[in-house]
């Protein structure tokens, strides 16, 4: 079977793939373009796509009889794939849940600490050679220990973040989720997102993309307390970026920590010029161990398909 890997992956993953499939690895690190998306469906039996490879309904409409029968997505998020259109075309879709949970939760904590303690701003100050030395009121930030954190989306990643907040920092946990969760730590479910936003010191976004576009809009940002921080490790489009910029400019919230952006990789100049926002280049799963784990999980789905077995991680 011919397998297309749409981006370069760690060597152990590619070695494992070549042991089972006739593999073509696309060398570009950018998302598939118009013709490449269609070639993926016509020239290969299986495709291992990832973030940004936009398999929209239009792509499937342009390839009425696809050779490809599986999109084994490299990543837990799959909002770049129209799953309904894929299934209508006879193409299964899988993802890599679990493999990314701890690494993404760690980045959430990194952003929480960096934003609350003004770490990125301080690092820029030192590099600028304008730091005049320590003094008692220098760059006073928000002390996280014992504060109130709100988690938007209490799935695997949301729970991993909440555990770190509760057990590591003694934080009180509240959350907004479609359904109640049975948890191994104390947490309060709030009925509305506005109520959650208005009651917490840190609001962390951990929902999937897609139908959650602009879930965090001006109403939610206006509900937040002036000292509170917004953290987004989910998908960029979940936050209305223009509304966030205005809230940060006006000092309506204390700060923000972002690992994802609405029009990624474009980050608006207005956002980059603000000192009260920490900006990371989508580092959520960026460790070698995790990326290898993600790759092997994607390959497990491809191998199951090859062997006529049930997919381990269908979506």
Q: Is 51 left (phi over 0), alpha (psi -120 to 50) or beta?
A: beta
Mention every residue, 6+ apart, whose C-beta is less than 8 A from residue 282: 51, 259, 260, 264, 265
d(CA 264, CA 202): 24
Catalytic residue chosen out of the listed positions 39, 156, 282, 296: 282
Strand partners, 151: 175, 204
Separation of alpha carbons 173 and 40, rounded Å: 44
Q: In the numeric block, which tokens belong to residue 59? A: 């792509």
Structure tokens at 156: 């695997």
Q: Is 235 a catalytic residue?
A: yes
Q: What's the rounded Cα separation, in Å, for the pair 70 and 87?
A: 10
282 as an active site residue: the answer is yes
184 burial (CB, 10 Å; 0-12 / 13-18 / 19+) is: exposed
Contact assessment for residue 159 and residue 211, using Cβ atoms and an 8 Å cutoff: no
Quote the tokens at residue 291: 């990326």
Annotation says 166 is catalytic = no
C-alpha distances out from residue 30 to 36, 59, 264, Å: 11, 18, 12
Of 235, 237, 262, 291, catalytic: 235
Q: In what order do the strands lie in the sheet with 148-152?
A: 188-189, 172-176, 148-152, 202-205, 229-232, 255-258, 277-279
Look up residue 192 and give its two tokens.
Answer: 């509305």
Cα 232 to Cα 3, 107, 111, 125, 271, distances in angstroms: 33, 10, 9, 24, 14
Burial of 125 (0-12, 13-18, 19+ CB in 10 A): middle
**8 Å CB contact between 259 and 284:** yes
Provide the annotated active-site residues: 235, 264, 282
């Amino acid at each position: 079977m011919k397998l297309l890997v749409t981006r370069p992956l760690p060597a152990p993953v590619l070695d494992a793939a070549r042991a089972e499939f006739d593999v073509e690895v696309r060398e570009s690190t950018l998302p598939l373009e118009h013709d490449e998306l269609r070639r993926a469906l016509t020239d290969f039996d299986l495709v291992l796509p990832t973030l940004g490879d936009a398999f929209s309904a239009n792509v499937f409409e342009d390839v009425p009889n696809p050779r490809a029968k599986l999109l084994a997505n490299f990543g837990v998020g799959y909002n770049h794939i129209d799953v309904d259109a894929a299934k209508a075309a006879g193409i299964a879709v899988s993802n890599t849940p679990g493999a990314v949970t701890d690494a993404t939760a760690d980045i959430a904590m990194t952003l929480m600490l960096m934003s609350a303690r003004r770490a990125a701003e301080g690092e820029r100050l030192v590099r600028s050679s304008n730091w005049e030395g320590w003094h008692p009121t220098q760059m006073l930030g928000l002390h996280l220990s014992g504060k109130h954190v709100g988690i938007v989306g209490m799935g695997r990643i949301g729970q991993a973040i909440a555990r770190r907040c509760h057990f590591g920092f003694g934080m009180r946990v509240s959350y907004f989720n479609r359904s109640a969760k049975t948890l191994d730590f104390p947490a309060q479910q709030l009925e509305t997102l506005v109520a959650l936003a208005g009651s917490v010191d840190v609001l962390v976004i951990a929902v999937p993309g897609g139908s959650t576009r602009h879930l965090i809009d001006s109403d939610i940002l206006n509900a937040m307390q002036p000292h509170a921080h917004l953290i987004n490790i989910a998908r960029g489009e979940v936050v209305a970026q223009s509304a966030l910029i205005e809230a940060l400019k006006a000092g309506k919230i204390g700060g923000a920590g972002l690992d994802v952006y609405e029009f990624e990789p474009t980050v608006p100049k207005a956002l980059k010029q603000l000192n009260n926002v920490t900006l990371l280049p989508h580092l959520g799963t960026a460790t070698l161990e995790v990326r290898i784990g993600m790759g092997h999980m994607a390959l497990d789905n491809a191998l199951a398909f090859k062997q006529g077995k049930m997919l381990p991680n269908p979506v």
